[in-house]
Homo-oligomer: A and B are copies of this chain.
Amino acid sequence: VRITKEAAAGNRARIVETAGRLFNEKGFDGVGVADLMSAAGLTHGGFYNHFGSKEVLEAAACDLVFEKAVAALVRNVADKPDGEREAAFANYVARYLSEKNRDAAVVCPMVALSNDAVRQGPAIRQRFAEGVRGYLDALGRAIRPSGRLAQREQKRVRAQAITALAALVGGLLLARGVKEADLALSNEILETLRSQLKAGRLASARG
């Protein structure tokens, strides 16, 4: 039942995308190869035509999911012209910390996979660290004016990016953690962080 190279490449890509989604929802260990393949519309036996092991797929999925996240941040905020960037960043934060994003099946990989990543092998941890670096860089570009900055300003921007990221990730993580058992607390966490970040207490385009 050989298929065309293009179809095979499409299948592979679909497996990685499906994996990105399922791993994000249920963790690496929460999704079996068989589940995954059937979710991608295939039977489990063919998995090893595409990937040497489940771990290889985990790494590929990790890459994909971070690329998507960083690309969205760059497209929606970092690449905006100076006049629009501050508003775009505020918008981004509001969406990140929204009830809708908390309830979404797929969320920020740093929220969904941090704990899984620490417990996995070097390959996954490598990709994860790369992803965080990329995300932090994009975040830095999202909260600073364009053009060259004095070194002192660069440091300040970097510190703000790190602080904002920590608060975003921690906030969403906690909001998701308590959501089912205490929706009011979950909403309170999101709302509080939205207003704190809006007030520029954590980071802003102005600094």
Contacts and interface: CB of A to CB of B under 8 A. Distances in A.
A18 to B, nearest CB: 18
A89 interface: no
Contacts of A173: 110, 114-115, 169-170, 173
A38 interface: no
Interface stretch (A24-32, A45-53, A71-79): A24-32
Chain A, interface size category, equals 35 or more
Contacts of A196: 159, 163
A138 interface: no
Nearest to A26: B119
Contact of A162 (B110, B118, B166, B193): B193
Contact of A177 (B117, B122, B136, B174): B117
Contacts of A129: 177-178, 180-182, 185
A201 interface: yes
A64 interface: no
A122 B179 CA distance: 11
A181 B115 contact: no
Most B-side CB within 10 Å, residue of A117, A128, A162, A166:
A166
Interface in A150-207: 158-159, 162-163, 165-171, 173-174, 176-182, 185, 188-189, 192-193, 195-196, 201-202
Task: Enumerate the 9 nearest inter-chain pairs by beta-carbon distance, A residue then B residue, closest first.
Answer: A170-B170, A129-B181, A166-B170, A169-B170, A166-B171, A129-B178, A129-B182, A115-B115, A114-B177
